[in-house]
Structure 1
């Protein structure tokens, strides 16, 4: 059952207040944080303030939407006005944005209660949340294992019930993979469906903001709150937004589900393969038709990603030079200040990707690498 629907029912029937729900989640968050380290910043004061505002609307007899009073966690690469946004990097350790991202602004207007900003791989570059400059997030199901990445903090927070739902970003699997690792639902929306205004850029042709939840319906409801055209984002699509929760179906009889053979071969662990096969069998028992398909071009996926993403990262991260905002290391000259700031501010994985991208974009290599990867 949808967690959002259940809490919404309790709020409108006045069985519980939004403040009571917020305090319950904040207490659980604080209790689990020493082990999980899902959050970089906890926004307890803001959460209680937002919850009290929802309670005031209910007392006044106002009708509230399904997201009002629901605890939310936000990946720490989405700008939040007046609340630090670090991207899990020393480069932005003390950065407090002067503006709000479109998605967080929309959810605040819908009455959601933000409990904190979640940990990630630095600048969203990684797949384990081990590349954060501040801490390593653990998988709630087994503290010795990683939660996936780069949105590992958001996935772990939802899995551990530190928040009802969460926002992440996905460039090359950074929502889908940690959702799988933590046993929750994650969605990378169609590019342009959700505004990227206020998302700190990594690879602009791939980056996308998306939801995490414990159920498909929770993800549908959160996507409803963030999808839609935004004039502040030039890549934003002008499309009608349907009611996603109305598209949920009671059964899957007659549906065709493609199983990609290429993804169950080399590099796929036995436990993973067994879990996928069990899921396939379950879907068959529910009436779905399973079709095995081949995608031979998939083998180029990782190589293509590691040209496009680092190339765009190299260009996007050039702005962190110690001049405009963020970290600045003292030095005798401008060039020396650039070098020291970037050497101390960026972690090893970010440096590696910047160097790969700079090489791929350099004179004589652009056509051979970046342009060819774009075509693939």
Structure 2
């Protein structure tokens, strides 16, 4: 059964088409792997009965030659995506045992194309976090460990369950969301491939909202090809989401293996941070050399407003969060803690239902939107955002096809190691990723090497709006040069 779970989506798709095995066999192998890996805490809800029923239905379709592009492929779904008749909590106590009567657009498209749901994956509460330690279900454990150490490491966040499950071979791919790096950072920490599409490329309908102008759904997979296969099913126009863009969805998989000769790759000087580990710097140079060897041209570029991105992000995102999370009041659904008045009931419910990090961000967001502070903070942050976007536009106008940067400032760290006394320490993990969300651009994180302790490190490629295909072509070059890594099994 091990070989059934160690295949890529592309390999499994061929095996299913050739009738080498059935979707039910593939699903059963993954369900057994999930059961054996509960120490990772990647899944917050397993749905074995639903998975087997979906697999049987797909097997019947495959037999008739009617299977879709993802026919029979078992996937994990981040607990931020509403799944009809299956509990969806955003990993927050405030949603309690909420069971949506509807399906998110992204997941409905995956089921339309024949995918199988194994269960719901752990994430930071309301996607607020960079380490998957804020979930009400407890932290996710990274399947990777430092050489010679048993210390439990974080898988990154907020899509830590998605990254951990894909890296540990518990599912063939997973849905994830990215507001400030929540797909790319966990992908880098677990040696998986994570894609944050252009804002508006994938529908946000039916995904629990954190910061509506920044959130974007995308895939986490084992290879760039697998990510491209998933992305094609996840993307597309949705009239139910007013920010969804009405553009044809290209065949992303066709971009894999395409020549990158003559492409201009920008290397931004502002991403060379003081105190950046030498191994991250070295990996960045290696990645640039691999792209150059494949025929790309390297050019130094400047993104002068980069230094303002993190502070501006941590004003815009909490402001939108405070507005989005106002709906969780104990009245309509989820947790309700009674009080002597409706005001007290609101207070009690929100105090008990939200965790520390969510409360912190809601308070920051409410403050920056309040009378007297709106202009000083929120409005100014939005102006900075415009300048960040313009920095990228200027580079692309000069013929730059994509930008190469590190994905994270370090490899995975231990659970409980960061952010305890100073939350800002945790926020600094997003330093290379938030600019992409602020500008609404696509980004991909690809495994590119390991640090001195044997932990994976990733490189990030940032593309022009709606040019994910170039990122897949370039990401494949890095992947081929670096090779693929899998964690040694200990769980």
TM-score tier after normalising by the smaller chain length: over 0.9
Tell me the SS of whatever aligns to 2:97. Answer: coil
Aligned pair partner of 1:8 in 13, 20, 26: 13
Q: Give the structure, 1 or 2, with the largest relative contact order (CA under 8 Å, sep 6 or more).
A: 2
User: Matches of 2:258 and 2:245 in 1, distance apart?
Assistant: 30
User: Matches of 1:88 and 1:266 in 2, distance apart?
Assistant: 35
Alignment RMSD: 1.5
How far 1:2 sits from its partner (Å)?
8.2
Q: 1:53 maps to what in 2?
A: 57
Q: 2:46 maps to what in 1?
A: 42
Q: Is the 8 Å Cα contact of residues 4 and 66 (structure 1) preserved in structure 2?
A: no
Q: 1:227 maps to what in 2?
A: 235
Structure 1 residue 18 and structure 2 residue 23: aligned?
yes
Tell me the SS of whatever aligns to 2:196. Answer: coil
Aligned pair partner of 1:198 in 202, 206, 209: 206
Moved more, 61-70 or 247-256: 247-256
User: Matches of 2:166 and 2:92 in 1, distance apart?
Assistant: 23
Residues 340 and 368 of structure 1: CA distance in aligned 2, closer, same or farther (over 3 Å): same
How far 1:272 sits from its partner (Å)?
2.3
Structure 1 residue 103 and structure 2 residue 106: aligned?
yes
Moved more, 249-258 or 190-199: 249-258
Residue pairs, 1:1-376, within 5 angstroms: 3-34=8-39, 36-59=40-63, 61-142=64-145, 144-266=152-274, 268-376=276-384
User: Matches of 1:139 and 1:259 in 2, distance apart?
Assistant: 30
1:76-132 per-residue CA deviation (whole Å, 9 max, x = no partner) reads: 011011111111111113111111101111111111011111111110001000111
User: Matches of 1:338 and 1:63 in 2, distance apart?
Assistant: 51
How far 1:267 sits from its partner (Å)?
5.2
Structure 2 unmatched runs, 5+ = 1-5, 146-150, 385-491
Q: Is the 8 Å Cα contact of residues 69 and 114 (structure 2) preserved in structure 1?
A: no
How far 1:13 sits from its partner (Å)?
1.2
Tell me the SS of whatever aligns to 1:187. Answer: strand
Tell me the SS of whatever aligns to 1:116. Answer: strand
Q: Is the 8 Å Cα contact of residues 76 and 120 (structure 1) preserved in structure 2?
A: yes
Q: Is the 8 Å Cα contact of residues 5 and 66 (structure 1) preserved in structure 2?
A: no
Q: Is the 8 Å Cα contact of residues 68 and 112 (structure 2) preserved in structure 1?
A: no
Corresponding pairs, count:
374
User: Matches of 1:241 and 1:260 in 2, distance apart?
Assistant: 30
Q: Is the 8 Å Cα contact of residues 82 and 207 (structure 2) preserved in structure 1?
A: yes
User: Matches of 1:351 and 1:37 in 2, distance apart?
Assistant: 24
How far 1:9 sits from its partner (Å)?
1.2
1:232-251 per-residue CA deviation (whole Å, 9 max, x = no partner) reads: 11111111111111122344
Q: 2:404 maps to what in 1?
A: none
1:243-273 per-residue CA deviation (whole Å, 9 max, x = no partner) reads: 1111223443332222222223125333322
User: Matches of 2:198 and 2:124 in 1, distance apart?
Assistant: 23
1:171-216 per-residue CA deviation (whole Å, 9 max, x = no partner) reads: 1111111111111111111111111100101101111111111111
Tell me the SS of whatever aligns to 2:34. Answer: helix
How far 1:360 sits from its partner (Å)?
0.2
1:297-322 per-residue CA deviation (whole Å, 9 max, x = no partner) reads: 00010011011000000000011111
Q: Is the 8 Å Cα contact of residues 107 and 225 (structure 1) preserved in structure 2?
A: yes
Structure 1 unmatched runs, 5+ = none
How far 1:332 sits from its partner (Å)?
1.3
User: Matches of 1:91 and 1:270 in 2, distance apart?
Assistant: 43
